[in-house]
Amino acid sequence: YLKISKLALAFAIIHSKPPGKSSKEYTEYLAKTVSEQDFGWKWKVEVLEAEVLRLRQELLLSKISPRFCLENRKQDTCAETLLGQESINPTSYSSQLEDSGCDVCNDSAFDSLGIASDFHQSENNVNTSKHWLERVPPLHLSHTSKEQSMTAPVHFLQCLLEIRKLSEGGILQADFSELENDSFTICNSVSQLLDGLTVFYNSPTFPTPSFLTEAVHVLISLITDTKLSNHVLKKCFKKMEEFKKNLIQIILRNRSVNRFQALHSISQTLGLLGRNNVLRNSLISLLLSEVRQFAEQLLQACQVQSVYDISQYENICLLCMTLEQLLQNETEESNISSSDYQGEEKITFLKNLDQTILHLSDEFPLFSLYLWRLSVLLSSGQMQ
């Protein structure tokens, strides 16, 4: 039946083709027309799905705190920002891009997106005065962009964090148990945010847009909040793991000339993700695995005198720096050092590491030094 149908379709196309066009050209034209119609339907479905998600977000917020949503509609503003600081002012980094971007020895270069410094500042200003954040409009998919793809989830999660902060201060009553009853809304919102960040980091633009800094602030605040992080990570743990893996691969595979500014911002984001107790150990395992595999590849290349990927060698140093930072820092919720990490990857990493360092030290002294520093942290729990 399928063969007969295909044959009948072929005859119909041949008989109906306009003069001056071959059967192949007419078939390609019909296929393009049908695909455009399919795209139109897909676009309509995406618009409707976005509207459904927005309504579910509003419904969930109203269930958690009806008073907040009532005041939010009346004033068309959110009550208090989660960051405890004045509005975020995007900084122009065009001057930093005049050279190759390789000079990253100062703090400002390491924090090219302003994420880490802003986050530390927000921690030190918990009791700052209230200020108002303009209500973010709903997502409009007719003008798709990186910014608009993150507008809706960022706004929803901002409101969630604001409710949490106001309820902690006794200003507002909130029932966060409702998050357990609506896993779809919270999962989709976090997934959209993570996908949007991944898209940007894959092809960053400069100067850095303010929406990216805001989106990272929201993500970090969400996973470091003692009450909300448990709800979020319970439902979105796999997505968070996928996001961390994506960031690591973006760092390793990037070969552009002016890549270091963007890659340092990604490594800063990884370091901030590692502040969370749940995410920290898995992130350390991922980084140890990548560093170990690269060390083995480099050792093999030295032994057989074969070529190695120079770009990946330069990029792996960023992962080493991030890993060293995670092993040195104390956790967000306790005074236990991250270097007490006891995962299986630690045993695999330390196995035969001394011999690896010995063979690589002559040709790759910097990388060998990083391996040694990591081994000291893993072995003794502190730098010697």
- For residue 274, pLDDT over 50 is answered with yes
Report the distance separating Cα 255 and Cα 29, nearest Å.
39
Parse the chain into domains and list their residue ranges: 145-275, 284-329+342-383
pLDDT at 36: 73
> 250 and 202 in contact (C-beta within 8 Å)?
yes
Which of 315 and 105 is assigned the larger pLDDT? 315
Instruction: Choose the weakest-confidence range: 68-72, 128-132, 280-284, 330-334.
Output: 128-132
Against a cut of 0.75, is the pTM above it?
A: no
Question: Is pLDDT at 243 greater than 90 in this prediction?
Answer: yes
Render pLDDT for 73-101 as a digit per residue (tens, 0 to 9).
Answer: 554 444 344 334 333 343 333 434 444 44
Specify the pLDDT at position 207. Answer: 74
The tens digit of pLDDT for each residue in 163-178 reads 988 888 888 888 888 8
Tokens of 227: 């009450």
Q: What is the dihedral of CA 84, 87, 93, 94, to 10 degrees?
A: 170
Distance between CA atoms of 379 and 373, rounded to whole angstroms?
Answer: 10
